Structure 1
Amino acid sequence: MRITDYELYEVPPRWQLLRIETSDGVVGWGEPYTKWHFVNGSTPATRSAVDQMLQHYVLGEDPARIEALWQSMYRSSFYRGGPVHMSAIAGIDQALWDIKGKRCGEPIFELLGGRARDRVRAYEHVSAHHDESNDDPAAAAARDARRAVDEGYTAVKLVPTDTLERIDTPGAVEQARAIVGAVREAVGPEVGVALDFHGRASKTMARRLLAALEPFDPLFVEEPVLPEQWPELATLAEQTTVPLATGERLYSRWEFRPLLEAGAVDVVQPDVSSAGGITETRKIADMAETYDVSFAPHCPIGPLALASSLHLDVGAPNALVQEQVILGRERASRYVENTDWLDLRDGFVDVPDGPGLGVSVDEDAVREFAGTDLSYDRPVGRRPDGSVAER
């Protein structure tokens, strides 16, 4: 069996689905991460990287040699790593695992050692923004969180802060406290409430916010500071009992290593579609287990990325909870023929248990929607004085 052809489809809302074909007719699918790479409705950086990896290192090769192909794609680039390079490798790697599973007639998690659990806990995103029905963000967040719990979720996540000054006012801290307090009161003590600072806080504000929010027992606080400020993360970890999480903007085990060695993190959040795929993300999860650190994959994109994450979750002893943005939403089932695994049951989802990823892609739908309605613009964050802020 040899890899003979591929096609990369850009589909709404802003996903890329990669199809790899073999000489035996077995087809594998993967999903490179593209969230911030769209330019006028297309993803030239990621697409170019996928093309380069496939044309130079993968086409004509045996798809069963996943580790060798991964090493070729990674090490043959003298300037390596980062979101574009590792996203391209990730999508290809997922497709190679999908092919291997289909060829063996087994789901990927069985090839990785089998189940460590029966199902995977998932969380829902909660909005704390103003809306038409209520101008109070705390009330809006509480209502959204209660809705999620009524739908069966046992964990939610929200962003409790807006754009922050480097040293902001007591009012900014109080607003975050009001929002998180309202959510905690709405869902009760049995529901996990995760918080995401999005790296918006300086170390000064992160320290203040963590102290203010600690009484609400967050499941974790994600990116309390920017990932490049990881030494400050280690300092914060010594000052709080709140579990600290990071990793969506880290792309290899080498980038996670210093955080783990410094005891800076309680939860790692690599993205299987941007951190080198199933091969690399599994290694990150295993490395985290060595440091008694939990594993909660980042996944704000489509069904192939979520399926890849679930295959890792179900086999990782240290898996905590899975991010997702597609359960119960038409945009996921649009491209998938078997949707039963996208159902939430008592706060958990099932891993697809068919061969490979276990996802039956509706290729006609993928081709129908490819290239349509892809516009995406990420505006620059600004403070009142006009300076650039984190968003």
Structure 2
Amino acid sequence: MKITRVETFLVPPRWLFCRVETDDGLVGWGEPVVEGRADTVRAAVHELADLLLGADPRRVEDLWQTMTKAAFYRGGPVLSSAVAGLDQALWDILGRSLGVPVHQLLGGAVRDRVRVYGWIGGDEPGEVGDEAAAQIAAGLTAVKINASGRAAALPPPAQIDAIVRRAATVREAIGDEADFAVDFHGRITVPAARRLIPLLEPYRPLFVEEPVLPEHTHRLADVVASTTTPIACGERLFSRAEFLPALQAGVAVVQPDLSHAGGISEVRRIASLAEVYGALFAPHCPLGPLSLAASLQVAFATPNFLIQEQSIGIHYNHGAEVLDYLADRSPFAFVDGSIERWDAPGLGIEIDEDEVRRADRTGHRWRPPVWRHPDGGHAEW
């Protein structure tokens, strides 16, 4: 079996899909993308395709090593994301060639269902109580909110009070049987995190995500030591080597993204590394159906899994939704706040190729917002 063609598709609202075809007709799909840099990743995928054409797609690990190490320069979000999507497609082909799901190839399932959470509130959250209650009423058992919109380096009392009040509102709306997580999106500084996160403890968030920027990972230990709330991070870390200092700092939850952190091959190793430190695994996934399917396959087979992010209905999705590119939507049905394990081969979903090709003709140029502080200086989004 040999790889004969690699294609990419720029599909709304902000995703990139790849399709890998073999000489005996098997096709694998993946989702390589950096949000806001889809065209750049697309170019990287086609550069990497030179290493794949003519190769046996079932040699997944060897091809992963080649894609990540064959050039002198390594790593970074663009290359890691290009590798991630191609890696997903190779695992998809391997599973389909053997007639088994990817989680079977990872050692078999350790659970029958995967708990998921949904987003509420948007980038600049306002009143979130009704949204949280609606998500729980619709069958989810957990939600996540952005802590704030633009945040000062040292937030004044009014900003701090608004963040705490938001957490209190969500807890009151969902009661004590459900969970909520709080995402700071790297918008606050280490001293602000040490002051603010302990104030959230009475409302018992499941975790606080990315309180500080990834370049400040060396300061995470100070944040962890300041609170009893579990600290999570990892959506902007792309390898085991980058996760190691975060784990050494004591983070409780790692959040690698299956479309950024080297795909299934690397993320399963990140999860195993986290297990050594007693940390839990909660894959980051505000993306499309292939990224979610890959995340679920790893979650089905990972002992230290906690909860899965998913983006059905997320505020970023304008013009297309996660389920729009599926020939069969049933694998992603929510049952009591979870997605049930399935045993279809490969990634276990069927892409509507006609719809993907149609969407690619439209494409997209999604870009994240550029925020400014009141004084005109750059603000973290």
Cα distance in 2 between the residues matched to 1:327 and 1:158: 14
1:168 pairs with 2:158: no
Q: Equivalent residue for 2:360?
A: 370
Q: What is the rounded CA distance, in whole Å, between the counterparts of 1:390 and 1:115 in structure 2?
A: 39
Q: Specify the alignment match of 2:71 in structure 1.
A: 77
The TM-score normalised by the length of structure 1 is 0.94
What amino acid is aligned across from residue 305 of structure 2 in structure 1? A
User: Which amino acid in 1 is paired with 2:68?
Assistant: Y
Q: Deviations over 1:89-146 (max 9, x none)?
A: 0010000000000000000000111111100000010106789xxxxx2xx2000000
| Residues 1:312 and 2:302 aligned together | no
Aligned residue for 2:114?
120
| Counterpart contact for 1:159–1:196, Cα < 8 Å | yes
Counterpart in 2 of 1:337?
327
Q: Which of 228, 235, 256 matches 2:222? A: 235
Q: Which residue, 47, 50, 53 being the options, matches 1:52?
A: 47
Establish whether residue 250 from structure 1 lines up as the match of residue 232 from structure 2: no
Amino acid at match of 2:266: E
Equivalent-residue separation in structure 1 for 2:124 and 2:347 (angstroms): 39
Question: What's 1:210 paired with?
Answer: 197
Partners in 2 of 1:346 and 1:46 — Cα distance? 36
Q: How many angstroms apart in 2 are the aligned matches of 1:308 and 1:64?
A: 17
**Amino acid of the residue matched to residue 291 of structure 2?**
A
CA contact (8 A) 2:124 2:146 kept: no
Q: Secondary structure at the match of 1:148?
A: helix
Work out whether 1:65 is the aligned partner of 2:59: yes
Give the secondary-structure state (helix, strand or coil) at the position aligned to 1:96. Answer: helix
Instruction: Say what the alpha-carbon RMSD is for the aligned residues.
Output: 1.5
Tell me, yes or no, if structure 1 residue 385 matches structure 2 residue 375. yes
1: CA distance between counterparts of 2:12 and 2:202? 40
Task: Name the TM-score, length of structure 2 as normaliser.
Answer: 0.96
SS of residue matched to 1:34:
coil
**Equivalent residue runs for 1:1-391 within 5 Å:** 1-37=1-37, 43-55=38-50, 57-127=51-121, 137=126, 140-263=127-250, 265-326=251-312, 331-372=321-362, 374-391=364-381
The verdict on how the C-alpha distance between 1:28 and 1:381 changes in structure 2, with shifts beyond 3 A counting, is same
Contact 1:271–1:297 (Cα < 8 Å) also in 2:
yes
Structure 2, unpaired ranges of 5+ = none
CA distance in 2, matches of 1:292, 1:235: 19
Percent identical among aligned pairs is: 47
Q: Deviations over 1:349-388 (max 9, x none)?
A: 1234211011111111111111315132323221111111
Instruction: Detail structure 1 runs of 4+ shifted over 4 Å in the superposition.
Output: 128-131, 327-330
Structure 1 pair 299/273, CA: closer, same or farther in 2 (3 Å)?
Answer: same
Q: Distance in 2 between matches of 1:229 and 1:130?
A: 23
8 Å Cα contact 2:198/2:228 also seen in 1: no
| Distance of 1:271 and 1:198 partners within structure 2 | 15
Distance 1:107 1:258 in 2: 33
Give 1:168 deviation, angstroms: 2.0
